[in-house]
Chain A
Amino acid sequence: AQSVTQLGSHVSVSEGALVLLRCNYSSSVPPYLFWYVQYPNQGLQLLLKYTTGATLVKGINGFEAEFKKSETSFHLTKPSAHMSDAAEYFCAVSEEFHNQGGKLIFGQGTELSVKP
């Protein structure tokens, strides 16, 4: 069965510092991988996704993630944190089955705090 593990339920960084949010997955087939962000009292918004091709994926708001098959990881990074990045971040994996669409399996979430 597929699963997603996000290391660290809370991460705190200073404004301008590197953001690193960790995600590891298990899947028996090549996965599709996603990072979503949730701002307070809002729905989820896609940051970026990996489907096929280039393993370094760039997303919105300066975020990027690298798919490493050998490490079964899809860590999210941003070189310089902004106060506006404070939110909860979810890593998710999806497998493709005929006529079953994208059933997402989510990690537990990581809450990012940014200190001035």
Chain B
Amino acid sequence: NAGVTQTPKFQVLKTGQSMTLQCAQDMNHEYMSWYRQDPGMGLRLIHYSVGAGITDQGEVPNGYNVSRSTTEDFPLRLLSAAPSQTSVYFCASSYSKTSGSETQYFGPGTRLLVL
């Protein structure tokens, strides 16, 4: 298994540009989520999904959209990038959509710089 994969690894955007961060998992996990990591703030939940066609907002959803058309893929869209979205983005997945005790498996991250 490849686990959780993310593309691209690094991206530079100009303010106002749009882009999609890709996330895929091959473990048949129901639950997938996106976090952003900023210095001194740990990781914060952006959006999450408990299955295909079902998404919901996390702690910091503004400026981001998600959709989940398949179990494997959970892309994160920035419609109009802002410098405040400069961050490292992590995708994670876990087997169960209902249990908070499940281990979440993280991808390698995407570093985004918005100029």
A associates with B: yes
Binding site for B on A (CB under 8 A): 4, 9, 32, 34, 36, 41-46, 49, 51-52, 90, 92, 94-109
Given A96-B99, A102-B101, 14 additional A-B pairs, CB 8 A:
A4-B42, A43-B109, A44-B106, A46-B103, A52-B101, A92-B43, A97-B100, A100-B48, A100-B50, A101-B100, A103-B58, A104-B35, A106-B44, A109-B42
Docked Cα-Cα span, A94 to B102, in Å, equals 9
26 A-B pairs whose Cβ atoms sit less than 8 Å apart in the complex: A4-B42, A43-B90, A43-B106, A43-B108, A43-B109, A44-B43, A46-B103, A49-B103, A94-B100, A96-B98, A96-B100, A98-B98, A99-B98, A100-B48, A100-B50, A101-B30, A101-B100, A102-B31, A103-B45, A104-B43, A104-B45, A106-B35, A106-B44, A108-B42, A109-B40, A109-B42
Instruction: Please list the 10 inter-chain residue pairs (A to B) with the smallest Cβ-Cβ separation, ordered nearest first.
Output: A96-B100, A106-B42, A43-B106, A101-B31, A94-B100, A51-B101, A44-B106, A102-B100, A106-B43, A32-B101
B99 touches A102 (CB 8 A): yes
B100 touches A32 (CB 8 A): yes
- Chain B interface size, as a band, is 20 to 34
Q: Which residue in A43, A98, A99, A101 is a CB contact (below 8 Å) of B102?
A: A101
Instruction: Tell whether B7 is near chain A: CB-to-CB under 8 Å.
Output: no
Instruction: Tell whether B94 is near chain A: CB-to-CB under 8 Å.
Output: yes
A17: shortest Cβ distance to chain B, in Å? Answer: 25
Docked Cα-Cα span, A97 to B41, in Å, equals 24
Instruction: Tell whether B104 is near chain A: CB-to-CB under 8 Å.
Output: yes
Docked Cα-Cα span, A96 to B88, in Å, equals 26
Chain B residues lying within 8 Å of A41, measured Cβ to Cβ, are 109
Binding site for A on B (CB under 8 A): 4, 30-31, 33, 35, 40-45, 48, 50, 56, 58, 90, 92, 94, 96-109
Q: Which of chain B's residues has its CB closest to A104's CB?
A: B104
A102 touches B104 (CB 8 A): yes
